[in-house]
């Protein structure tokens, strides 16, 4: 699949579909430095990678945030359901990013195993088994394709929820739309 990364440089770049929604506000806060409003409760659920290079510029109480490697929410569905059912959010922003370490995990096998042995005191065999059992569940492949696939998967599960596939470029710390 070929998806396009669309820069959101001004309010006029925000697609009509997202106008007057918390997704539009996310772009306004993060990309344009909109002055923060006050929120008594969350308006949005953000699913984003655990990568330490990413930070969202948003007001307090604006959003629930689930951080998971690759923005993979497959193993966080109860939390997603909770944000929708109890937190009353009706919008989700799925945010992938470039240079994600959850791509091509097999290339990190040796480093992973050695790191668990050295840093955590694991036996090599246990670290190897852990990698081989868990890596396939956490491999995301291409960052952009994964976010689009995850958006479609979640849209089928939560048909009344608006889900926006977004992309964060580490180099400029800006949010982009995936189209």
pLDDT at 2: 76
> Is the same domain home to 35 and 60?
yes
Specify the 3-state DSSP secondary structure of 14.
coil
Longest dimension (CA), the chain: 55
Specify the pTM: 0.94
Q: Which of 15-19, 53-57, 137-141 has the highest mean pLDDT?
A: 15-19
> Is the same domain home to 28 and 90?
yes
Q: What is the pLDDT of residues 117-130, one digit of tens each?
A: 999 999 999 999 99
> Is the same domain home to 41 and 58?
yes
Residue 117 is part of which domain span?
A: 104-139
- For residue 1, pLDDT beyond 70: no
> Is the same domain home to 166 and 150?
yes
């Amino acid at each position: 699949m070929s998806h396009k990364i669309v820069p959101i440089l001004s309010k006029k770049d925000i697609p009509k579909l997202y106008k007057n929604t918390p997704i539009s506000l996310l772009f306004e806060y993060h990309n344009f430095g909109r002055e923060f409003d006050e929120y008594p409760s969350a308006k949005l659920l953000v699913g984003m990678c655990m990568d330490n290079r990413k930070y969202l510029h948003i007001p307090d109480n604006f959003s629930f945030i689930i951080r998971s490697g690759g923005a993979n929410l497959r193993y966080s569905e109860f939390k997603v359901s909770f944000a929708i059912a109890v937190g009353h959010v009706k919008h989700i922003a799925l945010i992938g990013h470039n240079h994600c370490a959850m791509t091509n995990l097999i290339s990190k096998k040796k480093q992973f195993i050695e790191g668990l042995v050295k840093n955590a005191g694991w036996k090599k065999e246990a670290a190897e088994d852990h990698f081989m059992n868990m890596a396939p569940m956490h491999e995301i492949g291409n960052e952009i394709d994964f976010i689009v696939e995850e958006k479609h998967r979640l849209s089928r599960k939560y048909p009344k929820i608006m889900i926006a596939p977004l992309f964060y470029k580490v180099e400029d710390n800006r949010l982009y739309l995936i189209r």
